[in-house]
Structure 1
């Protein structure tokens, strides 16, 4: 994991599901400069098993998130090995004893970073992919007064039952490795991580991606080479307990569980005041477009723009130039609108 970041320590950080991190450590990186009136801030949370570097493909002078114009803040998800995680937290909350962290816990820590540490009262845009999208929706529900625009891509406001099935298959695959030892492993459970990677492979890209051997565009000549060189390589150096901690956070994402929403997803989405543009990927097996289209109907002025193509969930990762250009264009369009939706 990268070390080119800053750390905000949050003493006695009480978690929604119980337990306290003393302290919680929120890793983040910023790009660009905050302007004098503090009105150019963009928040861009990370996704599953990624860190701030995973978002850098969408930040640059040739991108909508131009650091000459915007101050882009990228906070790292708890559990990702950079922010507080099972792998870097001392006893008694290390390894398998790391407490459960919700998406709302992440947003609450980020709120302290943004408001108290950086002195920012309003965010021009909150955006994110996958688990970053889960955080984007939660920001828009928890802090509607702060979020001018929201752009969740390849994500959802709530983890669906079908997505839970996928998450549970990953959890079971990893923990069934005898080397895992209930999270108290002496050596990494590599067989479990390799199996975890191959389960992930079937969901991360679409059927058409594999059928058309699109992995050749990434430099792999055979399917096996792709499974080993792309998927296993992506996870083999990850800590197993970190992966499980992030899976728990993902599984339990639900904006309707926000205090005051009483489990009512329509009510939660209806509370969003941000100019919202959701970008589901056409072939995403985790968060299919129909789910986002349904959700947007309950967001005042909510819009959906489907990213075409066969790259599935990994559409949001920036590896395919056409997808990257589509997402960047949508960010540019949304930033060009007034917060009432007019250009």
Structure 2
């Protein structure tokens, strides 16, 4: 009866908890000693991206695009807040984004420290709830050969022969067999885990290379944008400063003609375009699109032209054309492929700078007219 009671109470209890506790202990052992703060700071990225996709507010923007939003907003609102230095708007937007993201990181860390959450990480758990870890979980993590599955198998082997002497050969054989089976299962699981981890490491290496390239590209773009903001503040910003993405040509619509205003980094074959006869040009197609969509063509093999319409001050219409080659991976990723940032956002940056320059041109024109009137 005593054996029956023990088997009923403890054996069934182990059967119930081994499937719940062992995965937690295994996860803790696998994560033990890993760095977790980097994961905490990266964790909310997918969440933020998910919010953007669900709300359909800002499709296709990678987390690395956030540093550009400030300068874009500063450029777009330049007409209403021209008396404010642009760098104030940039710093304010950047500070707000950092605060919001910091709060998201703290919420993510809270999930990482909660057992049962998909985001759980044992090192975050140690940092946030050290007493609970040391008192409850540390002994299981440190003793890496113990599992409740193994304990269950041991108890099962013992009590399945309760009608025999525990010191008998049958008992020893049953115990040894259960341990052998358990070890074979553990070896198979470890081999599977190693294969999965090797594949994950290879994937992470590829992602790291892509991430480094993306960060480098966006850093160069952000640096150029920042320099142009300072050039604007110092009244030195010109169209020639807007080649930080690729070479370009710029047109202004006058009736049925696109007048070439400026080009840089092109073949230098300058001419105006007729909206009726030059139908094969991307700039002509873009000028006719009131929605400002981008149009592309290949003037010759290996060369791309991407054009889009810009609605300017004084009801003027300008058309901007990017010029770049097939081997220009930076321009391809920013303008055509949407790999790093949605290409529409790059077009908005250019549009904002053009509005800024046009506003200064109009102001100078008024000054010149006033001076002439005197």
* TM-score (structure 1 length as normaliser): 0.20
* TM-score (structure 2 length as normaliser): 0.19
Which structure features the higher share of helix residues?
2
